[in-house]
Amino acid sequence: MRKFISRKPHRYRRKKTAFSNQFFRIGIALAVFAPLAFYSLFFSEFFQIEQIIITEAIFTEPGHEFIEPKYTKALKADIKSTIDEQLDNKIIFWETRSIFLSNLKKIEENILNEFLLIANIEISRKFPRTIYVVIEKRKPIAVWCQVLSEETKLLGEEKPCFLLDKQGVIFEKHIQVLPRITTMGAIQGKPKIIDRENRPIFGLGDKVIRETKLFQILDTLSVLELEIKIPIKKVEIISAHKLTFKTLETWDIYFNFQADIEWQLTKLVAVLQEKIPLEKRQDLMYIELRFEDFASFKFK
């Protein structure tokens, strides 16, 4: 007998259309939505920068109201104008002020280089179309003057004086109208430091003294005036090993800032208490603290 073998019915596979391919669908979606996203991010009015807000970091004591000086308002206006110019960008031929294209770090660097009065600046985005700027101005802690060499004086140069900040940077010319000597050797409230080291002429923005040395000077001034009760007119930097503190009583104190300052101050207190009564100070010429284990002195 014949054996009949059953055959399975033949199945025909449907041909897949291009649209049924997952990658094709993704490609179509990208082709449609990518240009829309690109336009929205870089050319849509919603993300075009319209406002620049500038505030100042203010550190005031409790109970003291801060009143913004007129020059600060003018400074902010100049900074705003400079930032505004740097917000314009181009993509091929099309101009845009998209908040996403702003190079904030580069703008910060440019502002610090252009405006010496600014010690620090932080720029951030406040979506959708605002740039927020916080500035910190340099605060003068001393007046720094440079004594010029005789050769420079012959060229008609005058002794320059500048405002000095805590980083040892000179950032603004100091115009002295009427000298007013008060405590801390201050002219208009700021200690005066004279550089007599015969160095090249410095200009605005230069770092003229190390922070450590600057604060050594200021700390020593504070001890002399507040603790030892010696009013100081000014400080003269003669060399790396000699600093002269000129008193209002017209006598000098010689320090070596390469050595132990506390020990030199201890010697100063000892010699004043033991050998130089208050009524004789007006006859003093100087007290020398740089050598030996004792302080030497000379009368006029």
Q: Angle between the 211-222 and 261-274 helix axes, to the nearest 10 degrees?
A: 20
- pLDDT tens, residue order, the chain (300 aa): 555 555 555 555 555 555 556 666 676 766 667 778 788 888 999 999 999 999 988 655 455 544 455 567 889 999 999 999 999 999 988 999 999 999 999 999 999 999 999 999 999 999 999 999 999 999 999 999 998 765 444 444 557 899 999 999 999 998 765 444 444 444 456 899 999 998 888 889 999 999 999 999 999 999 999 999 999 999 999 998 999 999 999 999 999 999 999 999 999 999 999 999 999 998 999 999 999 888 999 999
Contact predicate 99/40, CB 8 Å: no
Both 166 and 125 in one domain: the answer is: no
Both 128 and 185 in one domain: the answer is: no
- In tens, the pLDDT along 203-243 reads 899 999 999 999 999 999 999 999 999 999 999 999 989 99
Both 86 and 147 in one domain: the answer is: no
- Tokens 């230069």 correspond to 206
Residue ending a domain, among 110, 137, 164, is 137
Both 154 and 98 in one domain: the answer is: no
Token duo for residue 70: 């007129």
Both 164 and 294 in one domain: the answer is: yes
Residue ending a domain, among 115, 137, 159, is 137
Both 32 and 158 in one domain: the answer is: no
CA pair distance 125, 131, nearest whole angstrom: 5
CA pair distance 39, 43, nearest whole angstrom: 5
Whether 166 maps to a domain, the answer reads yes
Whether 12 maps to a domain, the answer reads no
Both 126 and 146 in one domain: the answer is: no
C-alpha distance from residue 119 to each of 63, 103, 170, 174, 275 (Å): 25, 20, 11, 18, 47
Amino acid, single-letter form, for residue 33: F
Q: Which domain holds residue 33?
A: 26-60+67-137
CATH of the domain at 189: 3.40.50.11690
pTM score of the predicted model: 0.75
Largest Cα–Cα separation, the chain: 149
CATH of the domain at 72: 3.10.20.310
State the total domains in the chain: 2
